[in-house]
Amino acid sequence: MEPRSTSRRTFLSLSMGLPLGAALAACGGSGPTQTGAGGGPGTSTGSAAGKATYWYLSVEPNEGVRRRAVERFNKANPSSTIATTTMQNDAFKTKIKTAIGAGEAPTIIWGWGGGGLRSYVQAGQVDDLTSWFDQNAAYKDRLFPSSFGAATVDGKIYAVPVEAVTPIVFFYNKKLFDKVGAQPPQEWGDIMDLVKKFNAAGIAPLSLGGQSRWTNMMWLEFLFDRIGGPEVFQAIYDGEKDAWNNPAAIDALTKIQDLIKANGFVKGFSSITADSNADQALLYTGKAAMMLHGGWTYGSMNTDGGDFVSGGNLGYMNFPAVQGGKGDPGNTVGNPAQYMSISSKATPEAKDIAKKFFLEEMNSEPQSKDWVSITQVPIVKGIDAEFGSSEQGPWQKFVYDTASNAKSFQQSWDQALSPTAAEVLLDNIAKLFQMSVSPQQFATNLNEVIGK
Protein backbone atom coordinates (compact mmCIF):
# COMPACT_ATOMS: atom_id res chain seq x y z
CA MET A 1 0.00 0.00 0.00
CA GLU A 2 2.89 2.34 -0.39
CA PRO A 3 2.99 5.14 -2.91
CA ARG A 4 4.26 4.31 -6.36
CA SER A 5 6.38 6.33 -8.68
CA THR A 6 3.86 9.01 -9.27
CA SER A 7 3.19 9.49 -5.60
CA ARG A 8 6.81 10.14 -4.91
CA ARG A 9 6.54 12.91 -7.40
CA THR A 10 3.66 14.30 -5.40
CA PHE A 11 6.16 15.28 -2.82
CA LEU A 12 8.46 16.96 -5.26
CA SER A 13 6.42 20.07 -4.97
CA LEU A 14 6.88 19.96 -1.23
CA SER A 15 10.62 19.59 -1.36
CA MET A 16 10.96 22.65 -3.55
CA GLY A 17 9.41 25.24 -1.33
CA LEU A 18 10.78 26.23 2.05
CA PRO A 19 7.41 26.80 3.73
CA LEU A 20 6.68 23.12 3.76
CA GLY A 21 3.77 23.42 6.04
CA ALA A 22 2.10 26.03 3.91
CA ALA A 23 2.61 23.92 0.83
CA LEU A 24 1.00 20.95 2.47
CA ALA A 25 -1.89 22.99 3.70
CA ALA A 26 -2.41 24.21 0.16
CA CYS A 27 -2.35 20.66 -1.19
CA GLY A 28 -4.71 19.44 1.46
CA GLY A 29 -7.19 22.14 0.65
CA SER A 30 -7.46 21.37 -3.01
CA GLY A 31 -10.09 18.79 -3.68
CA PRO A 32 -10.44 16.73 -6.79
CA THR A 33 -10.72 18.70 -9.98
CA GLN A 34 -13.38 17.62 -12.36
CA THR A 35 -13.18 18.25 -16.01
CA GLY A 36 -16.01 17.69 -18.39
CA ALA A 37 -15.42 15.90 -21.62
CA GLY A 38 -14.16 18.13 -24.37
CA GLY A 39 -13.46 20.96 -21.98
CA GLY A 40 -17.12 21.53 -21.23
CA PRO A 41 -18.55 22.08 -17.77
CA GLY A 42 -17.49 19.49 -15.22
CA THR A 43 -19.44 16.32 -14.72
CA SER A 44 -18.53 13.19 -12.87
CA THR A 45 -21.89 11.63 -12.38
CA GLY A 46 -20.88 8.01 -12.68
CA SER A 47 -21.56 6.28 -15.95
CA ALA A 48 -24.02 8.51 -17.75
CA ALA A 49 -25.16 7.31 -21.16
CA GLY A 50 -22.67 8.03 -23.91
CA LYS A 51 -19.97 8.74 -21.40
CA ALA A 52 -17.27 6.84 -19.61
CA THR A 53 -15.53 8.10 -16.50
CA TYR A 54 -11.87 7.99 -15.62
CA TRP A 55 -9.96 9.22 -12.56
CA TYR A 56 -6.26 9.87 -12.64
CA LEU A 57 -3.45 11.37 -10.60
CA SER A 58 -2.85 15.10 -10.79
CA VAL A 59 0.91 15.30 -10.63
CA GLU A 60 2.90 16.88 -13.42
CA PRO A 61 4.47 16.02 -15.75
CA ASN A 62 2.54 12.72 -15.90
CA GLU A 63 -0.78 14.50 -15.55
CA GLY A 64 -0.19 16.38 -18.78
CA VAL A 65 0.35 13.19 -20.76
CA ARG A 66 -2.82 11.67 -19.34
CA ARG A 67 -4.82 14.84 -19.99
CA ARG A 68 -3.65 15.14 -23.58
CA ALA A 69 -4.54 11.47 -24.17
CA VAL A 70 -8.13 12.06 -23.10
CA GLU A 71 -8.31 15.29 -25.10
CA ARG A 72 -7.16 13.53 -28.25
CA PHE A 73 -9.69 10.76 -27.75
CA ASN A 74 -12.60 13.07 -27.02
CA LYS A 75 -11.80 15.20 -30.05
CA ALA A 76 -11.79 12.16 -32.30
CA ASN A 77 -14.96 10.72 -30.74
CA PRO A 78 -17.32 13.60 -29.93
CA SER A 79 -20.28 11.26 -29.43
CA SER A 80 -18.63 8.95 -26.95
CA THR A 81 -16.43 10.94 -24.67
CA ILE A 82 -14.62 10.35 -21.43
CA ALA A 83 -15.16 12.57 -18.40
CA THR A 84 -12.19 12.79 -16.09
CA THR A 85 -11.57 13.60 -12.46
CA THR A 86 -8.07 14.29 -11.22
CA MET A 87 -6.88 13.89 -7.67
CA GLN A 88 -3.81 13.72 -5.52
CA ASN A 89 -2.18 10.36 -4.95
CA ASP A 90 -3.31 9.64 -1.41
CA ALA A 91 -6.81 10.97 -1.99
CA PHE A 92 -7.03 8.79 -5.08
CA LYS A 93 -6.04 5.65 -3.21
CA THR A 94 -8.66 6.15 -0.53
CA LYS A 95 -11.42 7.28 -2.87
CA ILE A 96 -11.02 4.61 -5.50
CA LYS A 97 -11.23 1.91 -2.86
CA THR A 98 -14.29 3.45 -1.25
CA ALA A 99 -15.94 4.03 -4.61
CA ILE A 100 -15.35 0.47 -5.77
CA GLY A 101 -16.66 -0.89 -2.47
CA ALA A 102 -19.79 1.24 -2.85
CA GLY A 103 -20.34 0.21 -6.48
CA GLU A 104 -19.69 3.81 -7.63
CA ALA A 105 -16.37 3.22 -9.34
CA PRO A 106 -15.39 5.13 -12.49
CA THR A 107 -15.62 3.13 -15.71
CA ILE A 108 -11.86 3.02 -16.04
CA ILE A 109 -10.09 1.94 -12.87
CA TRP A 110 -6.49 3.09 -12.99
CA GLY A 111 -4.05 1.41 -10.66
CA TRP A 112 -0.88 -0.52 -9.93
CA GLY A 113 -2.05 -4.06 -10.70
CA GLY A 114 -0.85 -6.94 -8.53
CA GLY A 115 -2.39 -7.54 -5.13
CA GLY A 116 -4.71 -4.54 -5.34
CA LEU A 117 -6.11 -5.76 -8.65
CA ARG A 118 -6.49 -9.25 -7.22
CA SER A 119 -8.68 -7.90 -4.40
CA TYR A 120 -10.89 -6.15 -6.98
CA VAL A 121 -11.14 -9.38 -8.95
CA GLN A 122 -12.05 -11.39 -5.88
CA ALA A 123 -14.80 -8.89 -5.10
CA GLY A 124 -16.07 -9.22 -8.68
CA GLN A 125 -15.59 -5.53 -9.35
CA VAL A 126 -13.57 -5.61 -12.58
CA ASP A 127 -14.17 -7.25 -15.95
CA ASP A 128 -12.14 -10.10 -17.38
CA LEU A 129 -10.33 -8.75 -20.44
CA THR A 130 -8.72 -12.01 -21.60
CA SER A 131 -11.03 -12.45 -24.60
CA TRP A 132 -10.64 -8.78 -25.51
CA PHE A 133 -6.88 -9.33 -25.70
CA ASP A 134 -7.43 -12.46 -27.80
CA GLN A 135 -9.44 -10.37 -30.25
CA ASN A 136 -6.74 -7.71 -30.30
CA ALA A 137 -3.66 -9.89 -30.40
CA ALA A 138 -1.69 -7.34 -32.41
CA TYR A 139 -2.26 -4.75 -29.70
CA LYS A 140 -1.07 -7.17 -27.04
CA ASP A 141 2.03 -8.16 -29.00
CA ARG A 142 3.25 -4.57 -29.15
CA LEU A 143 3.59 -4.36 -25.37
CA PHE A 144 6.38 -5.62 -23.10
CA PRO A 145 5.49 -9.22 -22.15
CA SER A 146 6.82 -8.51 -18.64
CA SER A 147 4.06 -5.95 -18.12
CA PHE A 148 1.30 -8.58 -18.13
CA GLY A 149 2.30 -10.43 -14.97
CA ALA A 150 0.80 -7.86 -12.64
CA ALA A 151 -2.35 -7.66 -14.80
CA THR A 152 -3.02 -11.38 -14.57
CA VAL A 153 -4.96 -13.08 -11.80
CA ASP A 154 -5.34 -16.89 -11.90
CA GLY A 155 -4.41 -17.02 -15.57
CA LYS A 156 -6.87 -14.35 -16.70
CA ILE A 157 -6.01 -10.79 -17.70
CA TYR A 158 -8.04 -8.16 -15.86
CA ALA A 159 -6.16 -5.00 -16.79
CA VAL A 160 -4.50 -3.31 -19.74
CA PRO A 161 -0.86 -2.44 -19.04
CA VAL A 162 -0.37 1.24 -19.88
CA GLU A 163 1.95 4.20 -19.45
CA ALA A 164 5.61 3.71 -18.57
CA VAL A 165 7.99 1.19 -17.04
CA THR A 166 10.10 2.09 -14.00
CA PRO A 167 12.68 -0.42 -12.82
CA ILE A 168 14.62 0.01 -9.60
CA VAL A 169 18.16 1.12 -10.45
CA PHE A 170 21.49 1.12 -8.64
CA PHE A 171 22.73 4.75 -8.74
CA TYR A 172 26.16 5.99 -7.77
CA ASN A 173 28.03 9.26 -7.57
CA LYS A 174 30.90 9.09 -10.09
CA LYS A 175 32.73 12.02 -8.49
CA LEU A 176 32.97 10.24 -5.16
CA PHE A 177 34.06 7.01 -6.83
CA ASP A 178 36.88 8.92 -8.56
CA LYS A 179 37.80 10.58 -5.31
CA VAL A 180 38.43 7.34 -3.46
CA GLY A 181 39.59 5.53 -6.59
CA ALA A 182 36.83 2.92 -6.60
CA GLN A 183 35.06 1.00 -9.33
CA PRO A 184 31.30 0.36 -9.47
CA PRO A 185 30.47 -2.95 -7.75
CA GLN A 186 30.38 -6.10 -9.87
CA GLU A 187 28.98 -8.30 -7.14
CA TRP A 188 27.80 -8.25 -3.54
CA GLY A 189 31.30 -8.63 -2.06
CA ASP A 190 32.33 -5.44 -3.87
CA ILE A 191 29.53 -3.56 -2.15
CA MET A 192 30.79 -4.71 1.24
CA ASP A 193 34.34 -3.62 0.27
CA LEU A 194 33.08 -0.26 -0.96
CA VAL A 195 31.28 0.22 2.35
CA LYS A 196 34.61 -0.04 4.18
CA LYS A 197 36.34 2.20 1.68
CA PHE A 198 33.77 4.99 1.80
CA ASN A 199 33.36 4.81 5.56
CA ALA A 200 37.14 5.19 5.87
CA ALA A 201 36.94 8.26 3.65
CA GLY A 202 34.20 9.75 5.82
CA ILE A 203 31.55 9.40 3.12
CA ALA A 204 28.29 7.56 3.75
CA PRO A 205 28.38 4.48 1.49
CA LEU A 206 24.66 4.06 0.77
CA SER A 207 21.82 6.52 0.89
CA LEU A 208 18.49 5.21 2.15
CA GLY A 209 15.19 6.84 3.08
CA GLY A 210 14.51 4.15 5.66
CA GLN A 211 11.45 5.68 7.28
CA SER A 212 9.44 5.02 4.14
CA ARG A 213 9.88 1.24 4.50
CA TRP A 214 9.36 0.36 0.82
CA THR A 215 12.79 1.87 0.23
CA ASN A 216 14.31 -0.88 2.39
CA MET A 217 12.17 -3.42 0.60
CA MET A 218 13.91 -2.72 -2.72
CA TRP A 219 17.14 -4.15 -1.29
CA LEU A 220 15.42 -7.36 -0.29
CA GLU A 221 13.69 -7.68 -3.66
CA PHE A 222 17.03 -7.69 -5.44
CA LEU A 223 18.86 -9.85 -2.91
CA PHE A 224 16.12 -12.49 -3.02
CA ASP A 225 16.30 -12.53 -6.80
CA ARG A 226 20.08 -12.57 -7.09
CA ILE A 227 20.55 -15.28 -4.46
CA GLY A 228 17.64 -17.60 -5.14
CA GLY A 229 16.20 -16.45 -8.46
CA PRO A 230 12.68 -15.18 -9.07
CA GLU A 231 11.26 -18.52 -7.88
CA VAL A 232 11.75 -17.58 -4.24
CA PHE A 233 9.26 -14.75 -4.27
CA GLN A 234 7.04 -16.53 -6.78
CA ALA A 235 6.51 -19.29 -4.20
CA ILE A 236 5.52 -16.67 -1.64
CA TYR A 237 3.21 -15.02 -4.16
CA ASP A 238 1.64 -18.37 -5.00
CA GLY A 239 0.91 -18.94 -1.32
CA GLU A 240 3.19 -21.94 -0.73
CA LYS A 241 3.36 -22.83 2.92
CA ASP A 242 6.42 -21.51 4.81
CA ALA A 243 7.88 -20.12 1.59
CA TRP A 244 9.76 -17.42 3.52
CA ASN A 245 11.84 -20.17 5.15
CA ASN A 246 13.66 -20.79 1.86
CA PRO A 247 17.42 -20.84 2.64
CA ALA A 248 17.92 -18.21 -0.08
CA ALA A 249 15.48 -15.93 1.72
CA ILE A 250 17.21 -16.39 5.07
CA ASP A 251 20.57 -15.78 3.38
CA ALA A 252 19.29 -12.54 1.82
CA LEU A 253 17.84 -11.33 5.12
CA THR A 254 21.11 -12.13 6.88
CA LYS A 255 23.14 -10.33 4.23
CA ILE A 256 21.10 -7.18 4.62
CA GLN A 257 21.58 -7.19 8.38
CA ASP A 258 25.32 -7.69 7.84
CA LEU A 259 25.30 -4.65 5.60
CA ILE A 260 23.50 -2.60 8.28
CA LYS A 261 25.97 -3.81 10.93
CA ALA A 262 28.86 -2.74 8.69
CA ASN A 263 27.35 0.79 8.66
CA GLY A 264 26.57 0.42 5.00
CA PHE A 265 23.65 2.82 5.14
CA VAL A 266 23.92 6.49 5.97
CA LYS A 267 23.77 7.25 9.68
CA GLY A 268 20.23 7.98 10.81
CA PHE A 269 18.65 6.38 7.74
CA SER A 270 15.57 5.47 9.77
CA SER A 271 14.82 9.18 10.18
CA ILE A 272 15.00 9.88 6.46
CA THR A 273 11.92 9.72 4.28
CA ALA A 274 11.85 9.23 0.56
CA ASP A 275 8.85 11.57 0.34
CA SER A 276 11.06 14.58 0.96
CA ASN A 277 13.64 13.35 -1.58
CA ALA A 278 16.29 13.75 1.13
CA ASP A 279 17.73 10.37 0.16
CA GLN A 280 18.34 11.56 -3.40
CA ALA A 281 19.79 14.81 -2.07
CA LEU A 282 22.38 12.81 -0.11
CA LEU A 283 23.59 11.29 -3.36
CA TYR A 284 23.76 14.43 -5.46
CA THR A 285 25.23 16.60 -2.73
CA GLY A 286 28.07 14.10 -2.37
CA LYS A 287 27.21 12.99 1.15
CA ALA A 288 26.50 9.43 0.10
CA ALA A 289 28.14 7.42 -2.67
CA MET A 290 25.47 4.97 -3.78
CA MET A 291 21.70 4.58 -3.75
CA LEU A 292 19.25 1.90 -4.79
CA HIS A 293 16.09 3.65 -5.90
CA GLY A 294 13.30 3.80 -8.42
CA GLY A 295 14.00 5.00 -11.94
CA TRP A 296 11.70 7.97 -11.33
CA THR A 297 14.38 9.56 -9.14
CA TYR A 298 16.45 10.23 -12.27
CA GLY A 299 14.04 12.97 -13.26
CA SER A 300 13.96 14.60 -9.85
CA MET A 301 17.73 14.43 -9.43
CA ASN A 302 18.04 16.03 -12.85
CA THR A 303 15.75 18.85 -11.75
CA ASP A 304 16.94 19.33 -8.18
CA GLY A 305 20.58 18.33 -8.40
CA GLY A 306 21.94 21.35 -10.29
CA ASP A 307 24.50 20.09 -12.82
CA PHE A 308 24.87 16.74 -11.08
CA VAL A 309 23.03 14.77 -13.77
CA SER A 310 23.70 17.00 -16.74
CA GLY A 311 27.39 17.11 -15.81
CA GLY A 312 27.58 13.34 -16.13
CA ASN A 313 28.23 12.65 -12.45
CA LEU A 314 25.35 10.24 -11.99
CA GLY A 315 26.25 6.63 -12.64
CA TYR A 316 23.57 3.98 -12.98
CA MET A 317 23.54 0.23 -13.41
CA ASN A 318 21.44 -2.83 -12.69
CA PHE A 319 21.83 -4.36 -9.24
CA PRO A 320 25.06 -6.40 -9.10
CA ALA A 321 25.16 -10.19 -8.85
CA VAL A 322 25.68 -12.17 -5.69
CA GLN A 323 28.46 -14.71 -6.03
CA GLY A 324 27.11 -18.24 -6.18
CA GLY A 325 23.57 -16.92 -6.54
CA LYS A 326 21.04 -18.53 -8.83
CA GLY A 327 19.35 -15.38 -10.11
CA ASP A 328 20.15 -13.89 -13.51
CA PRO A 329 21.89 -10.52 -12.97
CA GLY A 330 19.77 -9.20 -15.84
CA ASN A 331 16.59 -9.57 -13.80
CA THR A 332 15.03 -6.48 -12.40
CA VAL A 333 12.27 -5.32 -10.06
CA GLY A 334 10.03 -2.28 -9.88
CA ASN A 335 6.88 -1.08 -11.64
CA PRO A 336 6.39 -3.05 -14.86
CA ALA A 337 3.62 -0.62 -15.93
CA GLN A 338 0.47 1.11 -14.72
CA TYR A 339 -2.83 -0.67 -15.18
CA MET A 340 -6.33 0.13 -16.39
CA SER A 341 -9.29 -2.09 -15.66
CA ILE A 342 -12.97 -1.76 -16.49
CA SER A 343 -15.48 -1.57 -13.68
CA SER A 344 -17.96 -4.44 -13.85
CA LYS A 345 -20.64 -2.04 -12.58
CA ALA A 346 -20.34 0.29 -15.59
CA THR A 347 -23.02 0.42 -18.29
CA PRO A 348 -22.37 -1.53 -21.53
CA GLU A 349 -22.06 1.79 -23.42
CA ALA A 350 -19.46 3.10 -21.00
CA LYS A 351 -17.55 -0.17 -21.20
CA ASP A 352 -17.46 0.07 -24.99
CA ILE A 353 -16.11 3.58 -24.80
CA ALA A 354 -13.43 2.46 -22.37
CA LYS A 355 -12.36 -0.38 -24.65
CA LYS A 356 -12.26 1.97 -27.61
CA PHE A 357 -10.11 4.32 -25.52
CA PHE A 358 -7.69 1.49 -24.70
CA LEU A 359 -7.45 0.45 -28.33
CA GLU A 360 -7.19 3.86 -29.98
CA GLU A 361 -5.37 5.92 -27.42
CA MET A 362 -3.56 3.94 -24.73
CA ASN A 363 -0.08 2.80 -25.79
CA SER A 364 -0.65 4.62 -29.09
CA GLU A 365 2.19 6.27 -30.96
CA PRO A 366 1.31 9.88 -30.06
CA GLN A 367 0.96 8.98 -26.40
CA SER A 368 4.19 6.99 -26.35
CA LYS A 369 6.03 9.93 -27.85
CA ASP A 370 4.52 12.11 -25.16
CA TRP A 371 5.88 9.82 -22.43
CA VAL A 372 9.29 9.81 -24.10
CA SER A 373 9.28 13.59 -24.10
CA ILE A 374 9.09 13.63 -20.30
CA THR A 375 12.04 11.15 -20.07
CA GLN A 376 9.81 8.16 -19.34
CA VAL A 377 9.97 4.85 -21.15
CA PRO A 378 6.59 3.61 -22.37
CA ILE A 379 5.92 -0.13 -22.33
CA VAL A 380 5.82 -0.34 -26.11
CA LYS A 381 8.32 -2.53 -27.98
CA GLY A 382 10.62 -0.63 -30.32
CA ILE A 383 10.05 2.70 -28.64
CA ASP A 384 13.83 3.01 -28.24
CA ALA A 385 13.90 4.30 -31.82
CA GLU A 386 12.30 7.49 -30.49
CA PHE A 387 14.90 8.26 -27.84
CA GLY A 388 17.18 10.11 -30.22
CA SER A 389 20.36 11.78 -29.15
CA SER A 390 18.95 14.04 -26.48
CA GLU A 391 20.69 14.43 -23.16
CA GLN A 392 18.30 11.90 -21.62
CA GLY A 393 18.77 9.45 -24.49
CA PRO A 394 21.33 7.18 -22.80
CA TRP A 395 19.28 6.99 -19.63
CA GLN A 396 16.12 6.07 -21.51
CA LYS A 397 18.06 3.51 -23.52
CA PHE A 398 19.34 1.99 -20.29
CA VAL A 399 15.84 1.74 -18.85
CA TYR A 400 14.47 0.30 -22.08
CA ASP A 401 17.23 -2.31 -22.31
CA THR A 402 16.93 -3.24 -18.65
CA ALA A 403 13.18 -3.65 -18.89
CA SER A 404 13.04 -5.42 -22.23
CA ASN A 405 16.00 -7.76 -21.61
CA ALA A 406 15.02 -8.78 -18.10
CA LYS A 407 14.05 -12.45 -17.97
CA SER A 408 12.13 -11.64 -14.81
CA PHE A 409 10.61 -8.26 -14.00
CA GLN A 410 9.35 -8.66 -10.46
CA GLN A 411 6.65 -6.22 -9.48
CA SER A 412 7.35 -4.40 -6.22
CA TRP A 413 6.40 -6.75 -3.41
CA ASP A 414 4.06 -4.42 -1.59
CA GLN A 415 2.04 -4.03 -4.79
CA ALA A 416 2.19 -7.70 -5.73
CA LEU A 417 0.94 -9.01 -2.40
CA SER A 418 -2.49 -8.46 -0.95
CA PRO A 419 -2.87 -5.26 1.09
CA THR A 420 -3.10 -7.38 4.26
CA ALA A 421 0.15 -9.25 3.62
CA ALA A 422 1.87 -6.10 2.31
CA GLU A 423 1.27 -4.25 5.56
CA VAL A 424 2.75 -7.09 7.63
CA LEU A 425 5.67 -7.24 5.19
CA LEU A 426 6.48 -3.53 5.43
CA ASP A 427 6.08 -3.62 9.18
CA ASN A 428 8.57 -6.46 9.51
CA ILE A 429 10.97 -4.90 7.02
CA ALA A 430 11.11 -1.80 9.21
CA LYS A 431 11.90 -4.00 12.20
CA LEU A 432 14.49 -6.01 10.26
CA PHE A 433 16.32 -2.80 9.38
CA GLN A 434 16.04 -1.69 13.01
CA MET A 435 17.70 -5.01 13.90
CA SER A 436 14.78 -5.69 16.22
CA VAL A 437 13.86 -8.97 14.50
CA SER A 438 16.22 -11.69 13.34
CA PRO A 439 16.01 -13.12 9.80
CA GLN A 440 14.35 -16.26 11.16
CA GLN A 441 11.77 -14.27 13.16
CA PHE A 442 11.10 -12.20 10.06
CA ALA A 443 10.43 -15.35 8.05
CA THR A 444 8.21 -16.78 10.77
CA ASN A 445 6.15 -13.59 11.03
CA LEU A 446 5.63 -13.48 7.29
CA ASN A 447 4.87 -17.16 6.88
CA GLU A 448 1.76 -16.46 8.93
CA VAL A 449 0.29 -14.16 6.31
CA ILE A 450 1.20 -16.21 3.24
CA GLY A 451 -1.80 -16.45 0.97
CA LYS A 452 -3.82 -13.98 3.04
429 vs 406: CA distance, rounded Å: 26
Smallest separation (angstroms) from other proteins to the CB of 367: 30
Taking the least distance from each CB to other proteins, the nearer of 164 and 292 is 292
Q: Scan residues 92-121 and list those touching other proteins (CB under 8 A).
A: 94, 97-98, 100-101, 119-120
Using CB under 8 A as the binding rule, whether residue 22 contacts other proteins is answered as yes
The site string for other proteins over 119-138 (x = CB under 8 A, - otherwise) reads xx-xxxx-------------
Using CB under 8 A as the binding rule, whether residue 67 contacts other proteins is answered as no
Taking the least distance from each CB to other proteins, the nearer of 93 and 351 is 93
Taking the least distance from each CB to other proteins, the nearer of 37 and 272 is 272
Taking the least distance from each CB to other proteins, the nearer of 1 and 317 is 1
162 vs 407: CA distance, rounded Å: 20
Smallest separation (angstroms) from other proteins to the CB of 215: 12
Using CB under 8 A as the binding rule, whether residue 281 contacts other proteins is answered as yes
Residue 237 contacts residue 417 (beta carbons within 8 Å): yes
Query: Of residues 174, 179, 356, 431, which one binds other proteins by CB under 8 A?
Result: 431
Using CB under 8 A as the binding rule, whether residue 14 contacts other proteins is answered as yes
How many chain residues interact with other proteins (CB under 8 A)? 46
Using CB under 8 A as the binding rule, whether residue 162 contacts other proteins is answered as no
Using CB under 8 A as the binding rule, whether residue 278 contacts other proteins is answered as yes
Taking the least distance from each CB to other proteins, the nearer of 241 and 267 is 267
Using CB under 8 A as the binding rule, whether residue 447 contacts other proteins is answered as no
Give 18: exposed, middle or buried? Use CB within 10 Å, 0-12, 13-18, 19+.
Answer: exposed
The site string for other proteins over 404-423 (x = CB under 8 A, - otherwise) reads --------------xxx-xx
Stretch that binds other proteins, among 141-149, 152-160, 261-269, 312-320 (CB under 8 A): 261-269
Where do contacts with other proteins occur on this chain (CB under 8 A)? Answer: 1, 14, 20-22, 24-25, 28, 94, 97-98, 100-101, 119-120, 122-125, 210-211, 213, 266-273, 276, 278, 281-282, 287, 418-420, 422-424, 427, 430-431, 434, 436
